[in-house]
Amino acid sequence: MPVTYSRGPVPERLRTDEFLLRPIVADDAEADHAAVMETREYLRLWEQSTWPEDDFTVEGDRSDLAGLEERHVEGRAFTYTVLDTDGDGCLGCVYVFPTGASFLAKSTVTPVAGDAWEDVDIVAYFWVRRTRMADGLDERLLAALRVWFRDEWRVPRAVFVTNERFTHQVDVLRRTDLTLQFELVEPGKAGTYLVFG
């Protein structure tokens, strides 16, 4: 049975010549863990937390992924693993939320360009593993996501979020024609999240 959310069916996959996105499952833990640990210094900036800790284990990752898999199936939020074309190596992750997601509802969102948060359809976060940032994979993933959200998700207003302290990703977003539309502050997290659309 297809997964749906308030705006309709959720696409199952995105395939390009370079990567494949599909819903993450608990059994992805080993490959996901390798990508997470390689990228942990950037992910701590992105998350504004100590996650992942240096002693984060594959089993700890498996537990996290089981929760992500559950909320995907239930249509509450949607997490995709980014895999190489063979479907073996994890290259990163994409997280898609409705604006009503609980953590967003608790956040303070400030428009910076006259846009209304209520007009946003989906909120996306993404990361790619550290060794693939140098060859611009994150830029190509972002470009593919923009087309996917428009053509397959059929949402007119998707936005992309990163923390101001994750300067590499801020620069990736600023190099596109996307503009800064909102600033978002999550309770208990340092730094402001920048929302581009």
CATH number of domain containing 25: 3.40.630.30
Answer yes or no: is pLDDT of 57 > 60: yes
Quote the pLDDT of residue 190.
87
Answer yes or no: is pLDDT of 150 > 60: yes
Quote the pLDDT of residue 96.
98
Quote the pLDDT of residue 88.
84
Alpha-carbon distances of 9 from 4, 21, 51, 73, rounded to whole Å: 4, 16, 31, 12
The per-residue pLDDT for range 114-132, each reduced to its tens digit, is 899 999 999 999 999 999 9
**What value does the CA radius of gyration of the chain take, rounded to a whole number of Å?**
16
Q: Judge whether 195 and 182 are in contact, CB under 8 Å.
A: yes
- Residue of 78, 44, 37, 82 whose CA lies nearest to 61: 37
Q: What is the average pLDDT across 86-90?
A: 90
Quote the pLDDT of residue 1.
56
Quote the pLDDT of residue 48.
92
Instruction: Assign 2 a pLDDT band (cuts: 50, 70, 90).
Output: low
User: By residue range, what is the domain housing residue 66?
Assistant: 4-196
Mean pLDDT over each residue of the chain, to the nearest integer: 95
- The number of domains in the chain is 1
Answer yes or no: is pLDDT of 40 > 80: yes
Quote the pLDDT of residue 8.
76
Quote the pLDDT of residue 3.
73
Answer yes or no: is pLDDT of 156 > 80: yes
Quote the pLDDT of residue 4.
65
